[in-house]
Amino acid sequence: MKAIKTSLVPDFTQDPKLLEQFGENGPYYTSYPTHGDWSNQLGHTDYVKSLKDFFLKNGDAPVHLYIHIPFCAKLCFYCICNIIVTNNRDRMQHFVDYLFREIDLLNNLFSEIGTRPNIKEIHLGGGTPSHLEDEQLEQLVNKLGEIADLKNIYEFAMEIDPRTTSRENLKFYSTLGINRISFGVQDFDSNVQEAINRVQPVEMVEDLLSPDVRACFDGFNFDLLYGLPRQTRKTFENTVDLVKKLAPERITLIKYAHAPELRKHMRLIDAKTLPPTDEMPLMFNDSVQSLTADGYVWVGIGDFAKPSDEMAKAVNEKRAWRDLGGFATGNARNMIGIGPTAGGAIGDAYFQNAYGINEYYKAIDEGQFPIHSGFIMDGDDVLRREVIFRIICDSSLDYEQIETKFAPILSGSFENYFSNELASLARFEEDGILEFNASINRGFSLTPTGRFFGRHVARVFDRFLQRAEGAYEISGP
């Protein structure tokens, strides 16, 4: 008789108060401050100054390079990303030419600085990077070799569309040095796939993950969306079961954000077919229970990893980090973005490239980095980012560690500097979400139930939300 797998994670959905609290809006903190608080007054000059100031002092700092390739073969109705639907190869090559010119700008700047960026991670995102021809991808990787030592990359990841990718494509990508593949699965239910205009049966994905293909890569990531049209608690449970059978190394579970006011194509989704709001926490809880029972490590928020995966190890060793892509291993906390809308985080600064492709081209033609917005942090911001990220990544906070790292800013004890914030945490203690001075001499830890509320606890330390309580909203062009 087969043993029934059970999860050690509590079911918080039995408590009406916690259910209501879970549904509160708030940031997911892929950056701090969050994107809505960035300024559109920053540009090329600010970016160049930040890069020079940082790398003149920290030339060996590990860097994560993100390249945004906006093209897709088909429109997915749920997509919130910055994309261009086209199959015009000339148009795509025109973009690649400009991408190379931005890389040249970066290369020239580092020549001025007198160093080469210590790039340790690369991520090709979009859009659909696999929509480029194999020859174009090879040219891109070779171009990246001008600024990166490709033989010393920890992780080289690429997003693909299973509908337009073959086993042969995947094997070719591995010869370029790509060692991790990310699948946009979203949902395996045929009715849901039809409603979001992304039909990719589970057999299609399973066929791509043949043993010879899996042997070419260090790992595979699956992205899942809950809250999609025609989705039910039961159908999504079936999707998660199918995902477990395919056994990707990492899984990211994301709540669908229906924002037709920001993305006109979302109007193609019948809002009446979206699952009820009160089912969202249940679907998420079901998934957490199912994945952890199957042996996945709950990294945090909606991320999961196999125990042998580097991400799970990073969480266990308390070195995980949050970057603009979500959870990161912490091996390369500084990020440089290339391509339209690509974001970066260098030292105490955040920057994002232009949204529009024509605006992007115009800046490159003028010999400038296509910076659209950004934020330069002060000491308090850097301190608060550390606190917020540690709560989300570690499910705990050690005051002494923060004091050691930020003594000049705190000018005293953590308790004194954050007295108001700590007082605000009392309600979480009352609700059984966190415990003070339990496993940490001075600090607090999230309880097993409290892990569902990590970002809720973290936002107490967000000075921007303190200034405009309840003002958080999805931002975008």
Query: Quick one: pLDDT at residue 215?
Result: 98
CB 49 within 8 A of CB 55: no
Residue intervals of the chain classified under CATH 3.80.30.20 are 30-376
Collect all residues with Cβ–Cβ distance below 8 Å to 363 and sequence separation of at least 6: 44, 354, 369, 370, 371
CATH superfamily of the domain spanning 30-376:
tm_1862 like domain (3.80.30.20)
- Best CA proximity match to 348, nearest among 392, 380, 390, 393: 380
Q: Identify the residue whose tokens are 């934020």.
A: 375
pLDDT tens sequence across 196-240: 999 999 999 999 999 999 999 999 999 999 999 999 999 999 999
Q: Is 327 helix (H, G, I), strand (E, B) or coil?
A: strand
pLDDT confidence band for 439 (50 / 70 / 90): confident
Packed helices 134-144 and 89-113: angle between N→C axes, nearest 10 degrees: 10
Q: What is the pLDDT of residue 93?
A: 98
Quick check: 454 pLDDT over 80?
A: yes
User: CA–CA separation, 203 vs 236, rounded Å?
Assistant: 17
CA angle 453, 456, 459 (to 5 degrees): 150
Q: Does residue 475 register a pLDDT over 90? A: no
* pLDDT, tens digit, 9 for 90 and up, residues 122-174: 999 999 999 999 999 999 999 999 999 999 999 999 999 999 999 999 999 99
Instruction: Compare 82 and 42 and report the one with higher pLDDT.
Output: 42
Topology annotation, domain 379-467: Arc Repressor Mutant, subunit A (1.10.10)
d(CA 322, CA 31): 7
Please report which residue ranges of 370-441 form alpha helices under DSSP H. 379-394, 399-405, 407-410, 414-417, 419-424, 426-430
Least confident of 19-28, 166-175, 280-289, 298-307: 19-28
Cis peptide preceding 127, ω within 30 of 0: yes
Residue 52, pLDDT > 80, answer yes
Q: Is residue 3 scored above 90 in pLDDT?
A: no
Instruction: Look up the pTM and report it.
Output: 0.94
What mean pLDDT is predicted for residues 51-74? 97
Question: Is residue 472's pLDDT more than 80?
Answer: no
How much of the chain, in percent, has pLDDT values that exceed 70? Answer: 96
Largest CA distance in the chain: 70
Counting Cα atoms < 13 Å in the Cβ hemisphere of 93 gives 7
pLDDT at residue 467, rounded to an integer: 58
Q: Stretch 420-447: mean pLDDT, rounded?
A: 93
Q: Using DSSP, how many helices (H) and how many strands (E) does the chain show?
A: 20, 19
* Whole-number Å distance between alpha carbons of 382 and 372: 22
Q: Tell whether the model's pLDDT for residue 23 goes beyond 90.
A: no
Average pLDDT of the residues of the chain? 95
* pLDDT surpassing 60 at residue 332: yes
Q: What are phi and psi of 454, to 5 degrees?
A: -55, -45
DSSP letters, 269-283, are: S-GGGSPPGGGHHHH
Span(s) in the chain for CATH 1.10.10.920: 379-467
Q: How confident is the model at residue 8 (pLDDT cuts 50, 70, 90)?
A: confident
> What is the per-residue burial (b if ≥16 Cβ within 10 Å, else e) of 422-435?
beebeebeebebbb
